[in-house]
Amino acid sequence: MARLFSPRPPPSEDLFYETYYSLSQQYPLLLLLLVIVLFGLLALLTVAWASGRELASDPGFLTTMLCGLGGFSLLLGLASREQRLQRWTRPLSGLVWAALLALGHGFLFTGGVVSAWDQVSFFLFVIFTVYAMLPLGMRDAAAAGLASSLSHLLVLGLYLGPQPDSQPALLPQLAANAVLFLCGNVAGAYHKALMERALRATFREALSSLHSRRRLDTEKKHQEHLLLSILPAYLAREMKAEIMARLQAGQGSRPESTNNFHSLYVKRHQGVSVLYADIVGFTRLASECSPKELVLMLNELFGKFDQIAKEHECMRIKILGDCYYCVSGLPLSLPDHAVNCVRMGLDMCRAIRKLRAATGVDINMRVGVHSGSVLCGVIGLQKWQYDVWSHDVTLANHMEASGVPGRVHITGATLALLAGAYAVEEAAMEHGDPYLRELGEPTYLVIDPRAEEEDEKGTAGGLLSSLEGPKMRPSLLMTRYLESWGAAKPFAHLSHVESPVSTSTPLPEKALSSFSPQWSLDRSRTPRGLDDELDTGDAKFFQVIEQLNSQKQWKQSEDFNPLTLYFREKEMEKEYRLSALPAFKYYAACTFLVFFSNFIIQMLVTNRPPALTITYSITFLLFFLLLFVCFSEHLTRCVLKGPKMLHWLPTLSVLVATRPGLRVALGTTTILLIFSMAITSLVFLPAASNCPFRAPNVSSTASNLSWELPGSLPLISVPYSMHCCVLGFLSCSLFLHMSFELKLLLLLLWLAASCSLFLHSHAWLSDCLIARLYLGTLDSRPGVLKEPKLMGAISFFIFFFTLLVLARQNEYYCRLDFLWKKKLRQEQEETETMENLTRLLLENVLPAHVAPQFIGQNRRNEDLYHQSYECVCVLFASVPDFKEFYSESSINHEGLECLRLLNEIIADFDELLSKPKFSGVEKIKTICSTYMAATGLNATSGQDAQQDAEQSCSHLGTMVEFAVALGSKLDVINKHSFNNFRLRVGLNHGPVVAGVIGAQKPQYDIWGNTVNVASRMESTGVLGKIQVTEETACALQSLGYTCYSRGIIKVKGKGQLCTYFLNTDLTRTGPPSATLG
């Protein structure tokens, strides 16, 4: 029995559970109990009047009935208000119990002679309903049930003890009553334990489901934020559908397409302005920074720029090192896009001027703006970054490169759209960009109207530096100042994902603080202002609690049919009926207790004829066989030690638990056996109406007459057979998961059979018992309360309706429990899918080893992510011929078809990353037709420094093989597209700093001299060749690769460098060569 009781929940959960339990489960049952009692009293009055009894002649009966009707009507009025019941649950329940007890004792002493079997069925009804229908705890219910039992036994024992010997033996009857009451208490406690266990499980599952929904909503919001941090909303919806398809088909795979091309998510937009901005002097400053300072500086700077962009309706596109570019007019067209970009450029220059004035650090801002049309979207399969392409974008880039530090450089197209909003001056072209000189169009510098005001006010001249002291590094000065800007951290919205659903689900804090037992869970009746105090989560909590209210079963529901309680979905109904039921063995064990109680009662009140003993012996064998089948799994150890031919026996209990048809057959057979044995004693009574106590020659003084019929059982076995039938009714309620329609059928069968037996075929036995009981009295007709057949029939009907109500309630909660379990499973699966999607999206922005630090509880702290590495190999691979290939005409849809080919190139490059041998290669970004990747980023910080050079830089070979594979992929594309693209690759290795910056669009990137030199190796390289620095060439030679010298070349920002070409025609040649050339 201990397994039937679930562990005690935390106090807060217990508080909510008790309230929910009282309102949703016990409240309607209490009302129904009072209604049943009132109808029972009215039925008694009706039967008394219909049987021709004079009500006025029995004032005690009439007074008891009227008091009962008045008292229970008053209690029904008191209980009809939920709030009153919520406040006075225990006192009101105690009043109902006391009223029932008083009514029972009133019945004992009105209507005729008091007998030991009087009102046993009514007291059994009181005992059972105390457990099943009153909102009391288990301890209170047990105390009330035992008190009811003892009161009946003590009152009758004390009253009948001094009676003359003409009464039948009192002790066996009191013992039989005690057995009946004990069985009623156990059955009631068992029913209450089963219901509380089921209700508590449903309650917890509902809370878990609520928690799961919250997690699901959180995951959906995170995905939305994450997608929108990478892509605009219109593109995010389209790409999310493909990601879901990839997840369902298997992560990393691509759904089948109707053509051989990868999906292209690029659209053309006209009427936009493009802004490019570069921080002049930042490269020198960054070389002095620690990794943490560098990442913090970049995040604060670009975070500030993102704020400015948001203020001026611009969309940041990408960050390239210290270069920042954005677009106004995307994704929705804006009439003042040119003004927005110019304002943003001026504000960026102003922010840098303030920074320079405060810190004394020599940096500046160079901004270029051009207006036109763009192709915008995402290309490739991994590390998506929203980007823009067009000749107008290229022109905007050159506007920045040829601009003046601290000024906004614009084209004539942008100037025309400004409509005189700003004064401009023509830019000098003699030192301009060759690309601009070739165009031959004038360009302009915008005059900032607030620059003169700032000059008049004067600058602080390095205010912070003067305060901090002259010895502080410029990078540290900048970091101190930038921290005051307070830019948001990347992925801040992902740092508080709830933990997985646990068995002890936390409840809403506001709901706990605002909860009081003095108000109902009905939201229409909550105190004023409470709804304002509850947040959305708390409101959802109360919505879930209200869904558990049993009164919902009578209302229209999308899940249930309100009449039959069948699930509306046929598949769910089938799944429910075929679900396993491990608790069936406990149902069978408790029904055996009812059967055993019937057996003891029959043995106490009969003279134990051999035929009755034999019948019970056979039934005992059948019950033991049933219990063995149900509990055979607990005998596994014993059976396995025996013969192998018996090893199948433990599977019997599994069959019973998992086969619904077998359970129904066994349950029905068990209940019918109990019913049959309850009326078996009637078989041994005469069938003919031959009552010796009605004979006219029987003297009124013949007190020595026996209570037994000649050659038959004692007459007192007749009312006890009725009481055994009532126990049989109770056995139906013990099968908690038995379907309502089957219970209804069995109860109807039982009711019809019992009434036909005691009111028709064997009714004369009741009359004979009355004749013997009232032998020698003036009035031989007792009140309706004292006539066994009438009181027995009324008891049958009262128990029938009571158990019918409980059966309906049990059916509803069993189905509700199943529904919430199913919902919880579905929501957990959906949550898991969403979490996988979030992880996939995050890993599409960040490397796999970085992503976990931004997911939920794995997030270490609120610091920016940064990591320094001693040996990272950086690759830049470009397709320079694509610039000449790209054109904008109506034939290629203004460049869209050119980008389709670029998408194929980048996507094929990305597919290489899924190969196991390239698992160490991390794609960083694409810059137009340039592909940037790195190896060595998944090594632990500081690990490289402790290893020898050969081992720490062994990943250089992986990068070389990846570069060769890129060339092979491009050759395949050339073959299919009839082009002659060639790859230009630059490699370099050394220390780098990695980090995540940008709250609006978080971006993983790497910085350092190693990255800059690798980029120069590509830009100064030769088509079809892999150019490397001298240090990288030495490292590759030690790995078995052959390099030959190109000579000394001029590299922008680095001076004269000696570089080498990798011999890509050869793979590893074995021992290192003696020379590089």
Where in the sequence numbering do the catalytic residues fall?
A: 1016, 1052
**Pick from 109, 113, 106: which is nearest to 771 by CA?**
113
Q: How far apart are CA 135 and CA 88, in angstroms?
A: 11
Cis preceding-peptide flag for 331 (omega within 30 of 0):
yes
Task: DSSP letter for 856, please.
Answer: G
Token duo for residue 183: 């069985």
The encoded tokens of residue 742 equal: 């089957």
> Parallel, antiparallel, or unpaired: how do β-strands 314-320 and 424-426 relate?
unpaired
Q: What sign does the dihedral 108-110-115-117 (CA atoms) show? A: negative
Q: 960 to each of 179, 871, 913, 1042, 1070, how far by Cα in Å?
A: 90, 15, 14, 11, 16
Q: Token pair 């092979």 is at which residue?
A: 968
Helices 717-733 + 660-678 axis angle, to 10: 170
E strand or H helix at 764, and its extent? helix 763-773
Query: CA 844, CA 227: separation in Å to the nearest integer?
Result: 10
3-state SS string over 459-488?
Answer: CCCCHHHHHHCCCCCHHHHHHHHHHCCCCC
Chain-centroid distance, C-alpha 184: 41
Question: Nearest-CA neighbor of 248 among 840, 823, 827, 825?
Answer: 840
Please list, in sequence order, all residues whose beta carbon lies within 8 angstroms of the beta carbon of residue 757, skipping any fewer than 6 positions away.
679, 682
CA dist., res. 443 & res. 406, Å (int)? 16
Which pair of tokens denotes residue 360? 């004394």
Nearest Cα to Cα of residue 173 among 215, 132, 115: 115
Q: What are phi and psi of 338, to 5 degrees?
A: -70, -45
Residue 375 β-bridge partners: 268, 389
Q: Are the C-beta atoms of residues 785 and 44 closer than 8 Å to each other?
A: yes
Strands 984-997 and 1026-1029: parallel
Least Cα distance to 750 among 790, 786, 804, 713 occurs for 804
Q: Which residues pair with 411 in a beta bridge?
A: 443
How many whole angstroms separate alpha carbon 589 and alpha carbon 603?
A: 21
Q: What stretches of 109-169 show up as alpha helix (H) in DSSP?
A: 120-132, 138-160
* Pairwise CA distance, residues 721 & 680, whole Å: 8
> Quick count: other Cβ atoms within 10 Å of Cβ 253?
12
Is residue 390 within 8 A of residue 419, CB to CB? The reply is no
Q: SS in 3 state form for 659-695?
A: CHHHHHHHHHHHHHHHHHHHCHHHHCCCCCCCCHHHC
Q: In this structure, what DSSP letter does residue 265 have?
A: E
What is d(CA 841, CA 494) in angstroms, rounded to the nearest whole number? 12
Whole-number Cα distances in Å, 93 to 82, 152, 173, 958 = 13, 20, 31, 79
Q: Which residues pair with 931 in a beta bridge?
A: 877, 926
Gap between the terminal Cα atoms of the chain: 86
Neighbours of 1055 (CB within 10 A): 8
Is the backbone of residue 771 left (phi > 0), alpha (psi -120 to 50) or beta?
Answer: alpha
Look up residue 446 and give its two tokens. Answer: 């915008």
Residue with tokens 């009812």: 594
